[in-house]
């Protein structure tokens, strides 16, 4: 039995090596070929390569541009990941039980009455409480800073939901049938914004960032000093929500 397992493991390694060699050759050819068309490919990580900590993905959200009655980012997320209006599921669940990966929050100053509207989702902490408390390691942070749930390991204890200061996580309260291919989700596990990890791995922006009509959501690599997000964060003021908790958030806000 164990012998068989070892054999199949070796075989997999062999295939992997061959595959790596092939893709290295292709990547090499592409680099030699050069040209404008290929800059995008160069930005996107090859599909067979693991993410690493050279990058840290993040968002800069300008609440000053965010209109009170607009929820295009929420809608885009619903369509991308198949929840809320993007799905025919969750018919039994009450509004309190339905999943919400991103939501519009209105913040009102008690003394001045000033109102700000902003989208709220997983803040992709560098020190995520949800990852600390998860007994099985299902709640995880990728090396590139994306925090998500590995639903294969999630036992549905909901401790991460107790621990998240942003109420970013949802538990699925019933059987689902109409999932999206790229966003598997199901009963009895916890889920949340994963910064559209499926799109990011293809070299695209998260759906919310693309959908915002005001371009108020900027996505990029916080560690790349030349990226627009890093340049703006360096030169303009920004805040972290509940910055007092010192979680070092990947999502930062302006205009609040």
Using alpha carbons only, how large is the chain's radius of gyration in Å?
Answer: 20
**Do 63 and 253 touch, CB atoms closer than 8 A?**
yes
CB 131 within 8 A of CB 147: yes
Contact 154, 189 (CB under 8 A): yes
Q: Does 172 bind other proteins (CB under 8 A)?
A: yes
Q: Taking CB under 8 A as the criterion, which residues in 91-150 touch other proteins?
A: 92-94, 96-100, 103-110, 120, 129, 131-137, 140, 142-144, 148, 150
**Shortest CB 173 distance to other proteins, Å:** 4
Minimum CB–partner distance for residue 32 and other proteins (Å): 22
Query: Is residue 5 part of the contact set for other proteins (CB under 8 A)?
Result: yes
**Among residues 63, 65, 204, 248, the one that binds other proteins under rule CB under 8 A:** 204
Q: Which of 38, 85, 155, 214 binds other proteins (CB under 8 A)?
A: 155
> Taking contact as CB under 8 A, which single stretch among the options 28-36, 58-66, 202-210 is the one that binds other proteins?
202-210
Three-state SS at 100: coil
Q: Is the dihedral of CA 79, 83, 85, 89 positive or negative?
A: positive
- For 19, 155, 181, 227, 236, the CA distances from 48, given in Å and listed in that order, are 8, 29, 19, 24, 37
Contact between 251 and other proteins by CB under 8 A: the answer reads no
Candidate ranges 28-36, 58-66, 212-220; the one touching other proteins (CB under 8 A): 212-220
Q: Please give the Cα distance from 98 to 173 (Å, whole number).
A: 8
Give the integer Cα–Cα distance in Å for 243 and 254: 13
Confirm or reject binding of residue 53 to other proteins (CB under 8 A): no
Q: Is 235 in the site for other proteins (CB under 8 A)?
A: no
Assess 73 for contact with other proteins (CB under 8 A): no
Q: Considering only 26-34, 60-68, 193-201, which stretch makes contact with other proteins by CB under 8 A?
A: 193-201
Q: Which part of the chain contacts other proteins (CB under 8 A), choosing from 30-38, 58-66, 159-167?
A: 159-167
240 contributes a contact to other proteins by CB under 8 A? no
CB 250: neighbour CB atoms within 10 A?
A: 23
């Amino acid at each position: 039995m164990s012998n068989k397992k070892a054999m199949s493991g070796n075989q997999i390694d062999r295939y992997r090596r061959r595959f790596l060699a092939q893709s290295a050759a292709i990547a090499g050819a592409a680099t030699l070929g050069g040209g404008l068309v290929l800059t995008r490919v160069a930005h996107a990580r090859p599909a067979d390569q693991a993410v690493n900590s050279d990058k840290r993905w993040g968002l800069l959200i300008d609440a000053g541009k965010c209109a009170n009655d607009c929820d295009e980012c929420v809608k885009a997320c619903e369509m991308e990941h198949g929840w809320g209006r993007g799905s025919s599921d969750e018919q039994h669940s009450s509004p309190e039980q339905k999943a919400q990966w991103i939501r519009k929050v209105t913040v009102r100053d008690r003394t001045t009455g000033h109102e700000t509207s902003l989208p709220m989702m997983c803040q992709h902490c560098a020190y995520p409480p949800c990852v600390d408390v998860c007994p099985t390691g299902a709640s995880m942070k990728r090396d590139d800073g994306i925090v998500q749930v590995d639903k294969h390991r999630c036992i549905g204890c909901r401790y991460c939901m107790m621990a998240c200061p942003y109420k970013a996580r949802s538990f699925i309260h019933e059987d689902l049938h109409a999932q999206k291919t790229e966003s598997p989700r199901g009963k009895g596990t916890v889920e949340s914004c994963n910064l559209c990890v499926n799109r990011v791995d293809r070299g695209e922006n998260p759906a919310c960032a693309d959908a915002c009509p005001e371009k108020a959501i900027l996505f990029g690599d916080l560690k790349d000093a030349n990226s627009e997000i890093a340049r703006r964060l360096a030169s303009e003021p920004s805040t972290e929500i509940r910055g007092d908790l010192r979680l070092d958030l990947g999502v930062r806000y302006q205009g609040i």
